[in-house]
Chain A
Amino acid sequence: MSELFWIFISSMVINNFTLTYFLGICPFLGVSTKIDIAIRLGIANTFVLIITSLSVTLLNSVILPHAPYLRLISFILVIACAVQFVEMVIRKLSPALFRALGIFLPLITTNCAILALALFQTNRGYGLLEGIVFAVGSGAGLTLALVLMAGIREEAELSDIPAVLRGTAMNLLIAGILSLAFMGFAGLFSGS
């Protein structure tokens, strides 16, 4: 039990995908303008992560022992299908959200966080349950980073910032400071 807990906490805050591994930077910089959209994109991502984790466990145990060189190709195809599936679900359930996410929804396919989850899970030899906990933790971490960023950017909209600094440069500097804050979690559990 406690091991699952550590996997969760570690993937959520200590080794936060976005802020310490630089995974999923595109939506992090692109979609983080409004808090509610950020939350929903985070949830969509988490959903894809969970599906991916399940499929990867299956692939790892059934196909890949026989053909390890197919690993990358099969992972990426599974992810593409999972994203397609999530896209259909969102379009049915909430057309407004579908429009708000726009191009960033299909781009989840090329979100490094998803493929990285599949690879990390394989490298660390996580089983079914550990994989799911890892996926949920990482998804929560991504959502957390997106929401924090969106909150800061909503505030920044109102403040007086020189024109040169506006845009990506400022967002990256903000991300740097956020990442610095998350470094503080690194020492949190070193004693255990």
Chain B
Amino acid sequence: MATGKDTSQLYEEFVKGIWKENPVFVIVLGMCPTLAVTNSAINGVAMAAATMFVLVGSSLLISLLRNWIPNQVRISAYIVVIATFVTVVDFSLEAIAPKVHRELGAFIALIVVNCIIMGRAEAFAAKNTPMRSLLDALGMGLGFTLALLLMGSVREILGNGSLFGINLLGPHFEPWVIMILPPGGFIMLGVWLLVFAAFKERKQKKRLEAERRAA
């Protein structure tokens, strides 16, 4: 069934979330968990996994139900679907990994109000087939994971001298405690956005120069 063009389109739905439309660094959604739980790499990954489960589950379900949900009450319907999935994650995590659950605290429940999930439901899953919504959700989830991992590992290395709990920098490293405290989150995300903006600007400059040379 799937011709070459269809496959490449599906592939495109999947990849765009990881880099080109990265939810955190490019669209700048879902800031609260990005800042709050990334004081260590492992917390970031756990949070990203939980978010991804909710994102994929709710995108798939909403896309399947998209023809039955009346337009006027769609937001409430989405919220109920999302809240159900979050309740599932909340209870499962409490049973499987109580330590991680304690550390993430209320932020697991707060996945309900993560704008990424609502944003994808409204902007994508409500208008597309289940297959494409699934791939879109997977891509966005991976992009979110990548962002949390980038944030969490830099903050853990600088703030604690370790990565995933393994000591990297030796006993003589004086940790920058500020990086694992709240201000570090803001500053780190600011720096990452700055890096991305600088990249984009350089690329644009190069393109302009190439155009000028061609002309």
Contacts and interface: CB of A to CB of B under 8 A. Distances in A.
A15 to B, nearest CB: 10
A55 interface: no
A13 to B, nearest CB: 13
B41 interface: no
Nearest to B110: A112
Contact of B91 (A23, A69, A165, A170): A69
Report the 10 A-B pairs with minimum CB-CB distance, sorted nearest first: A172-B190, A176-B186, A176-B187, A173-B190, A25-B31, A169-B193, A22-B35, A179-B183, A180-B183, A22-B36
B100 interface: no
A115 B113 contact: yes
Contacts of B67: none
Given A112-B113, A183-B181, A183-B183, A164 B32 contact: no
B183 A170 contact: no
Interface in A1-44: 19-26, 29
B7 to A, nearest CB: 35
B143 interface: no
A22 B181 CA distance: 11
Interface stretch (A46-54, A71-79, A92-100, A132-140): A71-79
Interface residues on A, range: 35 or more
Most-contacted residue by chain B among A21, A71, A114 (CB, 10 A): A21
Contacts of B86: 72
A110 interface: yes
A170 B190 contact: yes
Given A21-B36, A76-B83, A169 B112 contact: no
Given A176-B183, A183-B182, A112 B32 contact: yes
B96 to A, nearest CB: 17
Interface residues on B, range: 35 or more
A163 B197 CA distance: 10
Contacts of B32: 22-25, 112
A76 B112 CA distance: 8
30 contacts: A19-B182, A21-B36, A22-B182, A24-B32, A25-B35, A26-B115, A29-B28, A29-B31, A69-B87, A69-B91, A72-B112, A76-B80, A76-B112, A80-B75, A80-B76, A109-B75, A109-B113, A115-B110, A115-B112, A115-B113, A119-B106, A164-B194, A169-B190, A169-B193, A173-B190, A173-B191, A173-B194, A176-B190, A179-B186, A180-B183
Contacts of A112: 32, 110, 113
B193 A172 contact: yes
Nearest to A81: B76
B36 A111 contact: no
Nearest to A165: B194
A192 interface: no
Given A29-B28, A109-B75, A119-B106, 15 more contacts: A20-B182, A26-B115, A73-B87, A76-B79, A77-B76, A80-B76, A109-B79, A112-B113, A116-B110, A119-B110, A164-B194, A164-B198, A176-B183, A180-B178, A183-B182
